[in-house]
A and B are shown apart, each in its own frame.
Chain A
């Protein structure tokens, strides 16, 4: 109850803050401070509400529907705390919480940069207002009581000492099929309980628990990072709107640049952490399945990264005066980044994906659906309405020729290629709305040529100087990296057995980028360390692409039946299943397998168990990481029989079935992403300094 009240007051503060900031922009003198007070109060209230929710979870207060639905007594502390964002309501709450904090930094940042604050914060508080409406008692409120809608409690979750209460008998139900007994929890039962002085916390002693596939280390950090990325995507939108409101397109470029970079870095990290989680935990052997939920966070990332490239051109071209090149492109891309985050939320939470994704939330109701449409619609109309309104002012003629061989054009083309990639993913992911779906080869076939172009373009554009380069100069400077790449590609083709022409081209373009970037990074690292961010990020991307080529294109997989203590040779390893053993303090079993190759021996232990949560068999793979490859062992099943189905007097055969696969250079995928993120960090620091100039 108190949580809902706090959130409602926070909503009022947020609306107040929007109005006050807007009035300050309109020229009112005394309203700026009110706007700040409104925003800060909102943040304080949201923080308080979040603490209350976390407290309710940690103290197992199952009188709240959210706590009952997603946690239970047996969860470890860290995971228990992370059930804060295990469900729809809580993840909106997390998004809101992180947005408010990002806004706090933004308020401080913008207050130091001229008259920026009222415009930026008016738009930003509008975004928090919508999130607050989302978690209000009208929609996805995490503080809803358990009896707000009738719910059937399993008998084991109810305190047995109250079972003899006479009025309870009329709330008992027996499931005809399974014979299980349930207690119907509704407002009447709540009233009866309170009349005899029993609190819900005493009455309900355990919760439903967490989906076993969320019971993972990454559950504690992947969602917060991803939602920080989402929250930060609001900032470029706010900056673009601020520029449009003032009709001044010069300053916003350098002011928003560090935010765009930081947002893209964090979102990218969050997305790939999800990929690593999937790889390590979910056992389908991959880190990316083109699942709609994965895709929908990738789309805004791609657009955000595209905007980085054109913002760079605009900033450079401002040196000759005027607002610079690509003013319209940049505004549109920055607006789109946030709108696509909202669209992604709509896709995954409105129920439109239905059967298309395992991730999707099941039918949240028509109201939510409509509200999400209004949410996106507002920001879409507001953003693009303003762009159209200012269109004429944005068409400033810039007197400079563009040659085909210019870095400007290369950067612009890369933004186009990234946007094309975003469009492809968007089209494929949105298809389920129209009752269709695309096969995953749609994405991979489309992206191979794009990735080749990105690699070549990046290498070339760095060799090109700003504006113009003579063909001769380009040839001269590219001889060394080109020859290195040719040799390296040749080695990859011969040693790695790469025989597909597209893969050869992709490998070549990745190595080319790698060579050029490393070359430049080394040349400038002494002179100016702060400048190497972009090169480091591109080295990361090149390594990432090489990792993808190896792990996606050239992994080998076999299914093996391992009879206990009988060696089987597969993938060049001698594998022996040595029996299973229970893991302490859990209901899990590890299946021990020893691997031998030449004189080296290794041990892996994939895990299987029956989950109490859904009575399903859960499997967890085991991964043996080496420098050049991972050996990935995914359990399939275990059987004790003689194989013929007949019972025998002899000891039964114990057979473990696994899929074993070798994933070459998958480490490059992870290190590539990490290096890319480091590049982003270096760039953010540099651009942060520049934004004050």
Chain B
């Protein structure tokens, strides 16, 4: 009886401190998003001199009008950028995942000559800062006349050494050799064995690598900034960054551009936030994969 009453009492006290700590964290991490939402509902005037202050609504609720202006501004170039971001991150992300799954499975399940050496090279390459490759990649691409095309963004995004590493670690444990051997004895070819036996077992890691590479490409800024000069090809990150520089350089004239930046930022974060919230059960376990070894 004493233990039953003591346990909750002992647990209650630290729980209050813990919950205060959590509330503080929630406020800190959501504050900018709250500001973004509130600011998207203001007209240009309200953004500068709102009656309710920076963190509360102005008297005019202008969200729909702001979205409308975003749709019509320069022939709707913002939504073109959003479409470009989706195209680059889907092609780049799916492509990078396919390559990583194949290579990870190859490293994990086939003992071939030179495997240990090439995997060591791969691990070393995880330590190469990918942004240090941006300017050399730009110059290589310009030799091949590929700059200022969608391929200049998509093709380099296919490179994901860390994805290969994750897939190898996962496949080594999740796909039993006996199962593969049994399929081979039954006369299944290597490709069929991969698709029907191995791939279904690797699914959680596949979703994780897919999410990581889609997010990586969607959020990328340096590479598209370097290799694209045609505004119509910009992803949304480069487009918004450009608006910001424009608005800052002609102070007063940039007034209405600020509302476009704010409402554009709000819309640009919705797709990925929804993707993460709906795919929770996959990434929460999957992100720790790399830490297993």
Mutual binders A and B: no
Chain B residues near A (Cβ < 8 Å): none
Query: Which A residues form the contact surface with B (CB < 8 A)?
Result: none
